[in-house]
Structure 1
Amino acid sequence: MTAQQPDDVYSHGHHESVVRAHASRTAENSGAFVVPYLTPGVSVLDVGCGPGSITCDFAALVAPGKVTGLDRSPEVIAQATTLAAEREVPNVEFVAGNIYDLDYEDETFDVVYAHQVLQHLTEPVAALREMRRVAQPGGIVAVRDADFHGMSWYPALPELDEWMELYQRIARRNGAEPDAGRRLVSWAQSAGFTDVAPTSSNWLYATGQERRWQARVWGERVLHSAFAEQALEYGFATPAELARISAGWHRWGSTDDGWFLIPNGEIIARA
């Protein structure tokens, strides 16, 4: 499995607009379902940690327990390491690694966590098996992923419909599953878990500040991130079409009554 991870294509990439969005995530808004398990002294592996904002929050909760953040991108690992230094979090480390071939012994961690990761993988069940391998007996594997076809918004704008269709095409062209949230229980069962507790929670953008933020993030990503590069490379969109979709995002963001809901599937799977 070692060679497989580099072949997975990350639909979002690591453009500044993407990393900025990921850095806004916290234990409270992105990991509340796992927080009850993060008690002092617990060891945690955060797989696909990105810029480390959630990881650092976890470290504060489990101190003096050790937290390890792992990502395949050395660039974001460097950013996460800088964040930990700025926040003066001593019990966290960040390393580059491969989710399909974790460089840890069996039964190493009390909690193994992955946030918005499985949706981008060609082999999510294999990743879950590997996460299960490094979890201690009685420990947990905790996963949270969005469900793109479950998203809803108001007002109805054709540009956002085009965005959704384009996102689905790009993700599936990459061998990924954008509707991962609804599949987490099934994937966990296929990975050999027999004790799986499912929950769900939402991200909602419905205040003026939230709408402007979400519109700015996706307005930029549609034009400048790996999403844009892949849309053009695969022949799924033209620059003019991407510009129209970006403008639609900004039009939605300027509304006074706009609503954008992102549902997330969650599981706590006992190792």
Structure 2
Amino acid sequence: MSTTKTAVYTHGHAAPVLRSHTWRTAANSASYLLSSLKPDMKILDIGCGPGTITVDLATYVPDGHITGLEYAPDVLENARAHAVERNVKNVDFVTGDAHALPFPDDTFDATHAHQLLQHIANPVQALREMRRVTKPGGIVATRETDFSAMTWYPESEGMTEWRELYKRVARGNGGEPDAGRRLHAWARQAGLDPARMTCTAGTWCFHTIEDRAWWGGLWADRTLESNFAPSAMKGGFATIDDLQRVSQAWRDWAADEDAWFAVLNGEILCRV
């Protein structure tokens, strides 16, 4: 993830975070983009993390190439290993900052970011950079969660406490957890043409026994074992007792046979 000024990546790349990131594929996280891809495209995937979406996207452009860019170099070892495991060769990975992309103007046919802009100091500047390195007629595409729009059943004071705490911590780190609803406005501010912009929303939904165990367990662990915990305590947003309470709320939710959780993601696809 890119970071400048006071922005800090709220999650980091601890094991429970990577459990979530490596679940992501082009199909479940970038479906709004897939019909616009052509086999010979050159694509930039910004904030690629462990590279599962990047490598997947590479299979949609077999005669093209995709570059995954990530601010934190260590996680790129996972990305490169994943490409080797999948035997996908038309992909490479580099380090760089989303606010100042290390590429000339008009380099890529498409630039893509998934769950990046919510974590960085200046999402409008990042979108300007995406626009700059995209060829005329190319695509700028991004997808972001909207935490305030997350919903679940049954009602839970602990889960509500978690969401409000998460938003305070994320904003304290310089991010915007309700990025999904702002994407079109940020894109317009970045100089992208609203008349050439398609706005959509995608969802993730978790309700089976397996879904609940995975989703609830990873958020219970992320609350205590990722960068979230020290950020929350250092910023004065929570004590360790608070964090343990909201972590247990996730486990209690996951154990309920009627539990259901939906995540709303805002999406924009802009023609340059």
User: Do the two structures share a fold, i.e. TM-score over 0.5?
Assistant: yes
Equivalent runs, 1:230-245 vs 2, <5 Å: 230-245=231-246
Q: How far off its partner does 1:19 sit?
A: 1.3
RMSD: 1.2
Task: For structure 1, list consecutive stretches of 5 or more residues without a partner in the other structure.
Answer: none
Counterpart CA distance in 1 for 2:218 and 2:178 is 21
What SS is found at the alignment partner of 1:202? strand
What SS is found at the alignment partner of 2:175? coil
Structure-1 residue corresponding to 2:87: 88
Structure-1 residue corresponding to 2:132: 133
Structure-1 residue corresponding to 2:252: 251
Counterpart CA distance in 1 for 2:221 and 2:172 is 22
Structure-2 residue corresponding to 1:269: 270
Give a deviation string over 1:158-184, Cα, whole Å, max 9, x none: 110110111010011112110000001
> Counterpart amino acid of 2:32?
F
Structure-2 residue corresponding to 1:119: 118
Structure-1 residue corresponding to 2:201: 200
Structure-2 residue corresponding to 1:5: 4
What SS is found at the alignment partner of 1:5? coil
Counterpart CA distance in 2 for 1:64 and 1:7 is 40
Structure-2 residue corresponding to 1:42: 41
> Counterpart amino acid of 2:255?
S
Structure-2 residue corresponding to 1:224: 225
Equivalent runs, 1:24-103 vs 2, <5 Å: 24-103=23-102
> Counterpart amino acid of 1:213?
W
Counterpart CA distance in 1 for 2:76 and 2:97 is 13
**Contact 1:5 1:99 (8 Å CA) reproduced:** no
What SS is found at the alignment partner of 1:9? coil
**Contact 2:3 2:71 (8 Å CA) reproduced:** no
Q: How far off its partner does 1:5 sit?
A: 2.9
Counterpart CA distance in 2 for 1:250 and 1:125 is 37
Structure-1 residue corresponding to 2:15: 16
Counterpart CA distance in 2 for 1:164 and 1:217 is 15
**Contact 1:52 1:83 (8 Å CA) reproduced:** yes
What SS is found at the alignment partner of 1:37? coil
Q: How far off its partner does 1:8 sit?
A: 2.2
Report how many residues are paired. 269
Counterpart CA distance in 1 for 2:101 and 2:171 is 25
Q: How far off its partner does 1:47 sit?
A: 0.3
Q: How far off its partner does 1:7 sit?
A: 4.6
**Contact 2:3 2:9 (8 Å CA) reproduced:** no
Q: How far off its partner does 1:235 sit?
A: 1.5
Give a deviation string over 1:209-229, Cα, whole Å, max 9, x none: 101100110010011100111
Counterpart CA distance in 2 for 1:216 and 1:199 is 29
Q: How far off its partner does 1:138 sit?
A: 0.2
Structure-2 residue corresponding to 1:147: 146
Counterpart CA distance in 2 for 1:239 and 1:99 is 33
Counterpart CA distance in 1 for 2:176 and 2:241 is 27
Task: For structure 2, list consecutive stretches of 5 or more residues without a partner in the other structure.
Answer: none
**Contact 1:39 1:61 (8 Å CA) reproduced:** yes
User: How high is the sequence identity, in percent, across the aligned residues?
Assistant: 48
Counterpart CA distance in 2 for 1:222 and 1:177 is 18
Counterpart CA distance in 2 for 1:269 and 1:39 is 16
